Amino acid sequence: VTEYYTVDKEHPDITVLERGAVVLRRGRLVAFPTETVYGLGANGLDERAVGGIYEAKGRPSDNPLILHIADKREVEKLAREIPANAAALMDAFWPGPLTLVLKRTPAVPDVVTGGLDTVAIRLPASPVARELIRLAGIPVAAPSANTSGRPSPTTAGDVLNDLDGKIEVIIDAGPCDIGVESTVIDCTTPVPTLLRPGGVTLEQLMAVLGEVEVDPGLAGRKDVVPRSPGMKYRHYAPNAPLILLEGNPGRIRENLQEKIKLALEAGQKVGAVVSQEMAGALPAGIVTAIYGSRRDPGEAAAGLYTALRHFDSHPVDIIYAEGIEEQGLGLAVMNRLRKASGYRILTV
Ligand code: TXA
Ligand code: MG
């Protein structure tokens, strides 16, 4: 059975975090909140413990993990080189939702990096996450705490739905503030390369770096393999096929109305993942999950995975989703929606 503890997000009970730290040091799995999504933690220096993560999630072993640290100085043990660009990013965004890919030292086990010569490192902002890692005294390997392929968990309830009984401890600190994963940026290229859009926006990265390469694999073209191994899998997907509509809101509305009407006439159960502005304009008799306002990408990010998971308990045959503008956190929202659709995208 999984031990379940509830703590305050800002002032967590230290005895709970000590329990989590002991379990991590013993090589077992602890799910914990971060400011982005819930993570599934294991001792990042213990091959067997890290192996347990892949097993619990059903995750492909060529998809490397992020090492989470509690103090900037720990980077030096894990990374061989810290280029000036990377140092500037750490100063600007750590602690926070940014993951740096750097050349690794031999201290990092192969099972963490999937055999790559690089390692992904993040210093989270969440006091619960940081204090847990600090007490454990080790780098904590942690992917999102979902079954592989499913939307990432933004509440402890989501974690339990996927992993109850498969992990030793879960720490509940309520819903995550950001709601999408950290931004992953590769600092081993001459110009840093954005591998996964996330909690730190491209605009924020540009303001610090001046220029940022964007991995062509992010565009979702079938002929380009993403450089970040995790980005090549269908991901973030609810339990039904999802079709994403992109374009101007008025055109999306007309197309949604038309498509949904046809699907209903064909006898299908229909779901919609849409903004609150769109929800009222859709035909009756469908299951609607609202991610937030399309004018507030931060709100859309925070609500996205809960909206996708709504169909776990309200099954449908097909889901139509409304795209939003790719500004700020909108870029991460659209990246996740495109992946959830398996690139079944209708540009209108
Ligand atoms: O917000 C987050 O980043 C959450 C919380 C728990 O910190 N973690 C998370 O981990 O999203 P995960 O495993 O779901 O995603 C890690 C991403 C994957 O796309 C993986 O392929 C990529 O980071 N990654 C890890 N190591 C890498 C490396 N050495 N080079 C390139 N990409 C790497
Ligand atoms: Mg994940």
- Give the separation between CA 193 and CA 1, rounded to whole angstroms: 42
What is the tens place of the pLDDT at every residue in 304-313?
999 999 999 9
Q: Cis omega (within 30 of 0) on the bond before 153?
A: no
For residues 228 and 305, is the Cβ–Cβ distance under 8 A?
no
Q: What is the dihedral of CA 51, 113, 304, 207, to 10 degrees?
A: 160
The answer, yes or no, to whether residue 228 has pLDDT greater than 80, is no
- Give the separation between CA 41 and CA 13, rounded to whole angstroms: 19
Q: Region 206-235: what's the mean pLDDT?
A: 79
Q: Is the CB of 238 under 6 A from ligand 1?
A: no
Give the number of whichever ligand sits closest to the CA of residue 102.
Answer: 1
The answer, yes or no, to whether residue 281 has pLDDT greater than 70, is yes
For residues 81 and 19, is the Cβ–Cβ distance under 8 A?
no
Least confident of 166-175, 218-227, 263-272: 218-227
In three-state secondary structure terms, 62 is: coil
For strand 287-292 and strand 213-214, is the pairing parallel, antiparallel, or unpaired? unpaired
- Nearest atom within ligand 1 for CA of residue 229: 21
For strand 183-186 and strand 193-196, is the pairing parallel, antiparallel, or unpaired? antiparallel
Which parts of the chain are beta strand (E)? 3-6, 30-32, 39-43, 66-68, 98-103, 118-122, 140-141, 169-172, 183-186, 193-196, 213-214, 242-246, 270-275, 287-292, 318-322, 345-347
Task: Return the best residue to mutate from 29, 65, 69 for the ligand 1 pocket (most ligand atoms within 8 A of CB).
Answer: 65
Task: Taking the CA atoms of 101, 104, 109 and 115 in sequence, report the sign of the dihedral they define.
Answer: positive
Task: Return the best residue to mutate from 113, 152, 155, 181 for the ligand 1 pocket (most ligand atoms within 8 A of CB).
Answer: 181
The answer, yes or no, to whether residue 320 has pLDDT greater than 70, is yes
- Angle formed by the axes of helices 297-313 and 156-163, nearest 10°: 40
pTM exceeds 0.90, yes or no: yes
The answer, yes or no, to whether residue 146 has pLDDT greater than 70, is yes
Question: What percent of the chain has a predicted confidence (pLDDT) above 90?
Answer: 92
Q: Is the CB of 34 under 6 A from ligand 1?
A: yes
Q: Is the CB of 65 under 6 A from ligand 1?
A: yes
Q: Indicate the pLDDT class of residue 288, thresholds 50, 70 and 90.
A: very high
> Measuring from atom 12 of ligand 1, which residue has the nearest CA?
143
Q: Region 107-122: what's the mean pLDDT?
A: 96
What is the tens place of the pLDDT at every residue in 185-216?
999 999 999 999 999 999 999 999 999 999 98
The full DSSP string for 132-180 is HHHHHTS-EE--BSS-TTSPPPSSHHHHHHHHTTTSSEEEE-SS-SS-S
Q: What is the pLDDT of residue 79?
A: 98
Q: What is the pLDDT of residue 239?
A: 83
Give the number of whichever ligand sits closest to the CA of residue 121.
Answer: 1
Q: What is the pLDDT of residue 221?
A: 61
Q: Indicate the pLDDT class of residue 235, thresholds 50, 70 and 90.
A: confident
- Give the separation between CA 132 and CA 142, rounded to whole angstroms: 12
- Nearest atom within ligand 1 for CA of residue 112: 26
Task: Return the best residue to mutate from 99, 110, 117, 194 for the ligand 1 pocket (most ligand atoms within 8 A of CB).
Answer: 99
- Give the separation between CA 203 and CA 39, rounded to whole angstroms: 26
The answer, yes or no, to whether residue 223 has pLDDT greater than 70, is no
The answer, yes or no, to whether residue 144 has pLDDT greater than 80, is yes
- Residues, CB-to-ion distance under 5 Å, ligand 2: 143-144
The answer, yes or no, to whether residue 159 has pLDDT greater than 70, is yes
ipTM of the complex as predicted: 0.99
The answer, yes or no, to whether residue 219 has pLDDT greater than 80, is no
What is the tens place of the pLDDT at every residue in 240-269?
999 999 999 999 999 999 999 999 999 999
